[in-house]
Amino acid sequence: MTRTDPQPAAEQPAGPQTMAHTDASGDDPEVRGPVVIVGGGFGGLYTALALSQQRRHPPLLLIEPQDCFLFLPLLYELLSGELRRWEIAPRYDALLAGRGVAWLQDRVVEIDAARRCLHTTGGRQLDFGQLVLATGSRMHSFGIPGVVEHGLGFRSLADVERLQTVVRQLRQRRRPLQRLAVVGAGPSGVELSCKLADLLEGAAVVELIEQGPAALPQARAFNREQALLALQRRDVRLRCGCRVREVGADHLDLDTASGPERLVVEAVVWTAGLDFAPPAIRPEPARDSRGRLLVDPQLRLQGHTHLFALGDIAAVGGDHGGAESSPPLPATAQVAFQQATCLADNLLRARCDEPLEPFRFQDLGEMISLGKGEASLVGGGFTLAGPAAFQLRRLAYLSRLPGRSHQLRVAAGWLADWQP
Ligand SMILES: Cc1cc2nc3c(=O)[nH]c(=O)nc-3n(C[C@H](O)[C@H](O)[C@H](O)COP(=O)(O)OP(=O)(O)OC[C@H]3O[C@@H](n4cnc5c(N)ncnc54)[C@H](O)[C@@H]3O)c2cc1C
């Protein structure tokens, strides 16, 4: 079976609810009907793009409530103004134009696996041949009082705008002892704290609160060392072993090793933990203890022939890395991106009643942003930190942006801005 078409389809406008496709001949009659992809993030959009490159692909429908794809690893650079909104948040109608992928701007609320149909908040009922779940993750409050009411998130364009307003206000007011708290010293909390400290230029102290004994416990040793140095250089106050008990409008209540403490803060950014909320599925699929959907190594939902899942929402069982007992895969864009290629292939295999391939994760390394114009990276047997790592990280992500024409537009913009 030939699965690659090097010639891109002729460019045509693609808007919500348009369907223009080539159906695959030789489909198992059991799985005729469109491939419906729920969620247009790293897992969903890249699966749609990979399928759209096949010469004879089935009808494809992407259901996604937002109008722009968001390249989350570069959200820090949008906050700092180092990148522009259109570069990291291209519109779905532009990305999918002429690719034979229909986009429906809606949210899926319920899936009936037996009848192979789904329902949306817009009141639509749609049938599918195969369904891909790629609804990602969201902020987890752990039920701590005040997090939802007073905590700022950092995973959407609206979050970036809110945080830019906070930074502007803190810089204008310049009151003594202004504090901004970031909760969670994982990659997001550390990267965000460095950018915020650079943007604030001393107008407020950044407090980085971590419940565990250390920042970046899962990171590579080199990146962790570089991150700690970057935090120190910016006077970010890293407080480990502090559990947040409550978030108020102007304070954080903490349990620390020396007892309870109230920290007066201007704002709290919450980056601790992920929560998973896929649409309701009947019959109820198996989930892991964190609420993620259990999928087999071929990315098929356990016990569901026509339902697949990838990205943050999927907990892959069995061996997925070539090792005897592979550790759980991290919730990263790198994993979702690689799964998309495997899943696109498996969807086509399933339609032809061919055996499916297991997903094998290839660890390509780790990059973290550490303030304006700085980064640290480990990969391919080498390590690098500072401005050169920042440029390399940008280039690496350029090659991961969705769609060749968007990559070229962004590259052209960077060249135009370049001052030797
Ligand atoms: C600030 C930040 C920085 C990050 N940096 C990195 C990094 O440097 N490197 C890295 O590898 N990873 C990074 N990650 C993690 C990475 O972005 C995620 O692992 C990745 O986005 C997961 O892809 P996904 O497709 O599962 O989910 P997402 O990309 O989150 O996409 C899910 C999509 O589903 C849609 N959706 C949700 N519910 C529904 C529904 N009911 N119906 C229809 N659509 C729905 C959402 O609108 C969303 O567009 C970062 C994450 C954040 C928040």
Give residue-wise pLDDT tens across range 209-244.
Answer: 999 999 999 999 999 999 999 999 999 999 999 999
Cβ proximity of 378 and 227 under 8 Å: no
Provide the CATH number for the domain around residue 316: 3.50.50.60
Q: Are residues 73 and 172 in the same domain?
A: no
Residues 407, 78: Cα–Cα separation, whole Å: 17
Query: Of 243, 272, 301, which marks where a domain is finished?
Result: 272
- Tell me what pLDDT residue 7 has: 33
In a domain, 142, yes or no: no
Q: How far is the CA of 276 from the centre of ligand 1 (A)?
A: 11
In a domain, 24, yes or no: no
Domain of residue 380 covers 366-417
Q: Are residues 120 and 77 in the same domain?
A: yes
Which are the contacts of 199, defined by CB distance < 8 A and separation ≥ 6?
79, 80, 167, 372
In a domain, 3, yes or no: no
Q: Are residues 116 and 233 in the same domain?
A: no
In a domain, 159, yes or no: yes
Q: Are residues 154 and 242 in the same domain?
A: yes
Q: Are residues 38 and 101 in the same domain?
A: yes
Q: Which two tokens stand for residue 142?
A: 């752990």
Query: Of 216, 249, 272, which marks where a domain is finished?
Result: 272
Total domains present in the chain: 3
- Tell me what pLDDT residue 321 has: 53
Query: Of 248, 272, 296, which marks where a domain is finished?
Result: 272
In a domain, 8, yes or no: no
- Tell me what pLDDT residue 21 has: 36
Which are the contacts of 250, defined by CB distance < 8 A and separation ≥ 6?
264, 265, 266
In a domain, 118, yes or no: yes
Cite the DSSP H helix spans in 207-329: 221-233
- Tell me what pLDDT residue 19 has: 40
Ligand 1 pocket check for 63: Cβ under 6 Å: yes
Residue nearest to atom 38 of ligand 1 (CA): 135
- Tell me what pLDDT residue 30 has: 65
110-113 long-range contacts, CB within 8 A, separation 24+: 110/279, 110/280, 110/281, 110/282, 111/38, 111/279, 111/280, 111/281, 111/282, 111/307, 112/282, 113/281, 113/282, 113/283, 113/285, 113/304, 113/306, 113/307
Residues 215, 218: Cα–Cα separation, whole Å: 9
Q: Are residues 268 and 280 in the same domain?
A: no
In a domain, 360, yes or no: no
Residues 195, 192: Cα–Cα separation, whole Å: 5
Q: Which two tokens stand for residue 212?
A: 């565990």
Q: Which two tokens stand for residue 376?
A: 């640290």
Q: Are residues 266 and 283 in the same domain?
A: no
Ligand 1 pocket check for 376: Cβ under 6 Å: no
Q: Are residues 265 and 299 in the same domain?
A: no
Q: Are residues 230 and 322 in the same domain?
A: no
In a domain, 302, yes or no: yes
Ligand 1 pocket check for 72: Cβ under 6 Å: yes
Q: How far is the CA of 352 from the centre of ligand 1 (A)?
A: 30
Ligand 1 pocket check for 108: Cβ under 6 Å: yes
Ranges under pLDDT 50 in the chain: 1-25, 322-324
409-413 long-range contacts, CB within 8 A, separation 24+: 410/87, 413/84, 413/87
Ligand 1 pocket check for 170: Cβ under 6 Å: no
